[in-house]
Amino acid sequence: DQQVKQNSPSLSVQEGRISILNCDYTNSMFDYFLWYKKYPAEGPTFLISISSIKDKNEDGRFTVFLNKSAKHLSLHIVPSQPGDSAVYFCAATVLTSGTYKYIFGTGTRLKVLA
Amino acid sequence: NAGVMQNPRHLVRRRGQEARLRCSPVKGHSHVYWYRQLPEEGLKFMVYLQKENIIDESGMPKERFSAEFPKEGPSILRIQQVVRGDSAAYFCASSPGQVGNTIYFGEGSWLTVV
């Protein structure tokens, strides 16, 4: 049962254009969402997060949008740079029986073309 | 650098041997998570621990796998009698434990079973 889904396994974008990575979730009780970037042979690095009480959070070139009614999350990268080429994971968390579990999607591989 | 430290980074074991992976969380973090990434797959939750307690081990295989986070020292993920299917990257993450807090990952331990 995949509660967090990233339906696009890969995405290619020209340098300077916008990259939009999408994430869907099924559990309406999720209350905090995060995006991580991962380079090969390295650990995931935190990028940006958003609480379920907000619909937008911005940090430099990165903006995360949350549409709770659609159970949809997206990460926008503007402008895209070659160094952004990596695998991006979205994650969601909820308090369940006193514990916090972070559920990750399967990732989207972004390639920014110079 | 007081980030999550994992060792060894790379480990080769023959089938039937034991693998021990260590994780030292960010200083001050009392919550540790272990995830596994199989080749070409996403991050799969394995276990969530607080100091001296296993909070959620629902993602851990029932046999051969165990985890601990003692009062003193690093968290240990132990895999007994390894098989080829255990070959994967194992990532540890830590957090202070409050909802809405980001979890921070280590660089990972790559286990190869030959």
Burial B81-103 (b: 16+ CB within 10 A, else e): ebeeebbbbbbbbbbeeeeebbb
Interface size between A and B, measured as CB pairs under 8 A: 60
Q: Which residues of A touch B (CB under 8 A)?
A: 6, 31-32, 34, 36, 41-46, 49, 51, 89, 93, 95, 98-107
Of A31, A99, A107, Cβ closest to residue B42: A107
DSSP classification of residue B86: G
- How crowded is the C-beta side of A59, counted as CA atoms within 13 Å? 10
Of A45, A91, A92, A44, nearest to B90 by C-alpha is A44
What are the pLDDT tens digits along chain B (114 aa)? 469 999 999 999 999 999 999 999 999 888 999 999 987 788 999 999 998 899 899 999 999 999 999 999 999 999 999 999 999 999 999 988 766 678 999 999 999 999
Instruction: Name the range with the highest mean pLDDT among A64-78, A95-109, B48-62.
Output: A64-78
Q: What is the pLDDT of residues A14-62, one digit of tens each?
A: 999 999 999 999 999 898 999 999 999 899 999 999 999 999 999 999 9
For residues B105 and A44, the answer to whether their CB atoms sit within 8 Å is yes
pLDDT at A97 over 90: no
